[in-house]
């Protein structure tokens, strides 16, 4: 599990955990970001990250993104396994 700030553009993952206080967790849920949700990193910025979730784009400050922990999406890990076996 790695926090959202450490992911590069193009990464697709599933939210495994959301930390922070309950107010932050509720705010992220209202934006469509909840545990089990698949998201894609669209853009990395010095001050945060822009992600896509449920067809919406959401810009998150780095301090907020640090509370979102991701696991690679199933299709990303399968693609990586296919690349390794093709070599």
CATH of 2-86 among 3.40.50.1100, 2.30.30.60, 3.40.50.720, 2.30.30.90: 2.30.30.90
Q: What is the pTM of this model?
A: 0.81
Rounded distance, CA 27 to CA 57, Å?
Answer: 15
How does DSSP assign 5-69, residue by residue? GGPPTT-EEEEEEE-S-HHHHHHHHHTT--TT-EEEEEEEETTEEEEEETTEEEEEEHHHHTTEE
- CB count within 10 Å of CB 42 equals 15
Domain boundaries, the chain: 2-86
pLDDT digits (tens, 9 = 90+) for 24-67: 999 999 999 999 999 999 999 889 999 999 899 999 999 999 99
């Amino acid at each position: 599990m790695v926090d959202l700030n450490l992911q590069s553009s193009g990464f697709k993952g599933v939210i495994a955990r959301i930390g922070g206080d309950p107010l932050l967790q509720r705010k992220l849920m209202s934006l469509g970001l909840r545990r089990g949700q698949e998201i894609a990193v669209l853009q990395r910025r010095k001050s945060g990250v822009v992600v896509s979730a449920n067809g919406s784009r959401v810009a998150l400050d780095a301090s907020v993104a640090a509370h979102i922990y991701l696991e690679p999406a199933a299709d990303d890990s399968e693609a990586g396994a296919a690349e390794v076996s093709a070599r």
